C-alpha cells in the first residue's frame, strides 16, 4: 500500500449517542459531503474523487489523485458542525517496518527544531501483533535516532506523535498539524428553526448557535421599502450566505412591513411603535413557520440590550404566540456576541451602515415597560388580521 495523505475527522458528542449514533454519523457524513462538493473533482483530473469513509467513530477523507493536496479542504471541513478535530495524517499499510519508514520520511521533519516529543499509539485493530506500548516505543526510537537534539517527554511534550492502528489501515500524524473543528451536533439532527435575520450583529450569531446544536435554519428578513433600500436586503442575503457555510442551504424569506409601519405611525401611540411592530413580526413569523412545518422561531434578543428586549417588553411582544421561541443570545453581553460574530465572519458585513426596518419610524422615547392592556388597546385601532395577511401574501423567497 502506498502512503496516502488523508484527513481524520474526529467528533465528540456523537460518540456518546449509543444505539442512535449511526443516525448521527450518517447525517454528519452527508454534511461533510455537501461541504466538500465543490472539490468533488480535481480540476486537473476529472476522474479523481474525494472519498469519505466511516470506521470506528472516525471519518477518513482522501482524494484518488495523489497530486491533489487534501489539506485544501480543511477550511470547509472546519465549518461542519459535529467535527471536533481534523488531523492531517498519512495512511500506510499495517506493517511496523513500513510505519517506521513513513515516520522517518514525514514525521521527523515535523520535529525539526522542536525541544521534545512523545508518541501515543492506539491499537483499535487487536489483530495487529504488537501492543500499543510496543508500537509507541519502536516509533519513538526511530524518530529519536534521527534527531539527537530532541528529548522524549511523555507528560507534556511540545509535539505528540500519534500512531493509530485501525481496521482500514495505520495512520500517523502529529499534534502540530491538528486543526479545530466547529464542534456541536450535525445540522439537521435537532429540528428546524426560522431565524429572524436583521442586518445587525446579534441575529446571525443566534442562527449560528442554534445550527451548532444541530438545528436546520431558515431565515426571515423584514424590509420597509421605500424607507429601506434594496442594498439593505442584499446585505442580509450576504449574511445568509456566510451562515450557510456552517448551516448548509438556507431558505431565505423576505417580507415587507411598510403598510404595517405606516398604519402604526398614523393610528397608534408613537411610544408603542416598536412593541406593536415586533408583535406583527412575530405573528408573521409564526404563520410562515406553521405553513412550512418549521418547529420554532429564533431571535437574536439579548436581555435588556434595547427597549424591546426588557423582560416586560418580551412578555408583551410574545403574548399569544404558541410556537416555541429560542433566544440563544439572551444571556450574552454585546462584547460576547461581537466576539462570536468576528469568529464566524459575519461582523464586518453586519456593521455595514444600511438601514433596516426596525430603524424606520423609531420613537424618541420607546416604552420599556409596556402594559398588555395598553398594547391591545392600540392594536384595536388597526386592521390586525388584514395587515398581517397582506404582508404574509407578499413573501419573497430565495
Position 132 pLDDT exceeds 90: yes
**Helix, strand or coil for residue 288?**
helix
Query: Could you tell me the pLDDT band of residue 47, with boundaries at 50, 70 and 90?
Result: low
Of residues 168 and 38, more confidence is placed in 168
CA distances from 297 to 245, 291, 294, 333 (A): 21, 13, 8, 21
Residue 47 CB: number of other CB atoms within 10 A?
8
Task: State residue 42's pLDDT score.
Answer: 52
Query: Could you tell me the pLDDT band of residue 41, with boundaries at 50, 70 and 90?
Result: low
Where do we find the cell 464586518? 348
Task: State residue 45's pLDDT score.
Answer: 56
352-355 long-range contacts, CB within 8 A, separation 24+: 352/199, 352/235, 354/199, 354/228, 354/229, 354/231, 354/232, 354/235, 355/227, 355/228, 355/229, 355/232
Residue 190 CB: number of other CB atoms within 10 A?
17
> Whole-model pTM?
0.90
Q: Strand runs (DSSP E) across the chain, as ranges?
A: 4-10, 41-42, 45-54, 58-63, 85-92, 116-123, 151-152, 159-166, 169-174, 178-180, 192-196, 216-223, 252-256, 296-298, 325-326, 396-397
Task: State how far the Cα of 326 lies from the Cα of 163, in Å rounded to an integer.
Answer: 43
Position 215 pLDDT exceeds 70: yes
Query: Could you tell me the pLDDT band of residue 355, with boundaries at 50, 70 and 90?
Result: confident
Query: Please, what's the b/e burial string for 271-302 (b: 16 or more CB within 10 A of its CB; e: otherwise)?
Result: bbbbbbbbbbbbbbbbbbbeeeebebbbbbbb
Of residues 15 and 79, more confidence is placed in 79
Task: State residue 343's pLDDT score.
Answer: 96
Task: State residue 175's pLDDT score.
Answer: 85
The per-residue pLDDT for range 169-211, each reduced to its tens digit, is 899 999 877 899 999 999 999 999 999 999 899 999 999 999 9
Task: State residue 46's pLDDT score.
Answer: 59
> Of 213, 215, 159, which Cα lies nearest the Cα of 191?
215
- Three cell numbers, residue 255: 417580507
Burial class of residue 34, CB neighbours in 10 A (0-12, 13-18, 19+): middle
The per-residue pLDDT for range 251-282, each reduced to its tens digit, is 999 999 999 999 999 999 999 999 999 999 99
Task: State how far the Cα of 290 lies from the Cα of 158, in Å rounded to an integer.
Answer: 54
**β-bridge pairing 192-196 and 216-223:** parallel
Query: Could you tell me the pLDDT band of residue 1, with boundaries at 50, 70 and 90?
Result: low
Compute the residue count for the chain.
398
Position 31 pLDDT exceeds 70: yes
Mean pLDDT of 20-41: 87
> How far, in whole angstroms, is CA 8 from its chain's centroid?
19
Task: State how far the Cα of 74 lies from the Cα of 379, in Å rounded to an integer.
Answer: 53
- Three cell numbers, residue 121: 499509539
Task: State residue 79's pLDDT score.
Answer: 95
Position 396 pLDDT exceeds 70: yes
Task: State how far the Cα of 318 lies from the Cα of 349, in Å rounded to an integer.
Answer: 29
Task: State residue 367's pLDDT score.
Answer: 92
What does the mean pLDDT of the chain come to? Answer: 91
Position 86 pLDDT exceeds 80: yes
Position 84 pLDDT exceeds 70: yes
Mean pLDDT of 330-344: 96
Query: Could you tell me the pLDDT band of residue 119, with boundaries at 50, 70 and 90?
Result: very high
Task: State residue 17's pLDDT score.
Answer: 82
Mean pLDDT of 234-258: 95
For residues 375 and 217, is the Cβ–Cβ distance under 8 A? Answer: no
Query: Could you tell me the pLDDT band of residue 48, with boundaries at 50, 70 and 90?
Result: low
Amino acid at each position: 500500500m502506498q502512503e496516502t495523505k488523508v484527513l481524520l475527522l474526529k467528533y465528540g458528542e456523537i460518540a456518546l449517542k449509543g444505539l442512535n449514533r449511526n443516525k448521527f454519523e450518517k447525517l454528519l457524513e452527508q454534511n461533510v459531503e455537501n461541504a466538500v462538493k465543490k472539490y468533488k473533482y480535481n480540476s486537473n483530473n476529472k476522474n479523481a474523487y474525494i472519498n469519505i469513509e466511516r470506521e470506528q467513530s472516525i471519518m477518513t477523507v482522501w482524494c484518488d489523485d495523489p497530486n491533489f493536496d487534501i489539506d485544501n479542504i480543511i477550511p470547509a471541513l472546519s465549518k461542519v458542525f459535529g467535527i471536533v478535530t481534523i488531523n492531517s495524517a498519512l495512511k500506510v499499510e499495517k506493517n511496523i517496518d513500513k510505519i517506521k519508514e513513513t515516520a522517518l520520511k514525514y514525521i521527523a521533519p515535523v520535529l525539526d527544531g522542536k525541544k521534545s516529543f512523545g508518541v501515543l499509539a492506539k491499537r483499535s485493530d487487536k489483530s495487529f501483533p504488537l501492543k500499543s506500548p510496543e508500537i509507541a516505543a519502536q516509533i519513538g526510537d526511530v524518530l529519536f535516532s534521527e534527531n539527537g537534539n530532541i528529548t522524549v517527554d511523555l507528560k507534556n511534550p511540545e509535539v505528540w506523535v500519534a500512531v493509530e492502528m485501525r481496521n482500514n489501515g495505520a495512520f500517523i500524524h502529529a499534534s502540530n498539524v491538528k486543526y479545530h473543528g466547529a464542534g456541536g451536533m450535525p445540522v439537521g439532527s435537532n429540528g428546524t428553526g426560522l431565524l429572524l435575520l436583521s442586518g445587525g450583529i446579534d441575529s446571525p450569531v443566534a442562527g449560528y448557535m442554534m445550527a451548532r446544536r444541530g438545528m436546520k435554519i431558515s431565515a426571515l428578513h423584514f424590509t420597509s421599502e421605500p424607507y429601506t433600500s434594496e442594498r439593505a436586503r442584499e446585505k442580509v442575503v450576504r449574511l445568509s450566505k456566510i451562515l450557510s457555510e456552517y448551516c448548509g442551504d438556507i431558505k431565505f424569506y423576505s417580507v415587507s412591513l411598510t403598510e404595517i409601519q405606516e398604519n402604526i405611525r398614523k393610528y397608534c401611540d408613537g411610544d408603542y411603535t416598536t412593541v406593536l411592530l415586533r408583535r406583527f413580526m412575530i405573528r408573521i413569523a409564526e404563520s410562515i413557520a406553521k405553513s412550512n412545518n418549521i418547529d420554532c422561531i429564533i431571535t437574536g434578543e439579548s436581555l435588556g440590550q434595547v427597549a424591546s428586549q426588557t423582560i416586560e417588553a418580551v412578555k408583551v411582544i410574545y403574548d399569544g404566540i404558541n410556537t416555541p421561541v429560542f433566544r440563544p443570545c439572551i444571556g450574552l453581553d454585546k462584547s460576547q456576541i461581537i466576539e462570536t460574530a468576528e469568529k464566524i465572519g459575519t461582523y464586518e458585513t453586519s456593521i455595514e451602515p444600511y438601514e433596516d426596518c426596525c430603524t424606520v419610524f423609531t420613537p424618541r422615547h420607546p416604552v420599556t415597560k409596556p402594559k398588555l392592556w395598553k398594547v391591545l388597546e392600540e392594536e384595536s385601532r388597526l386592521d390586525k388580521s388584514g395587515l398581517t395577511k397582506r404582508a404574509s401574501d407578499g413573501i419573497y423567497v430565495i
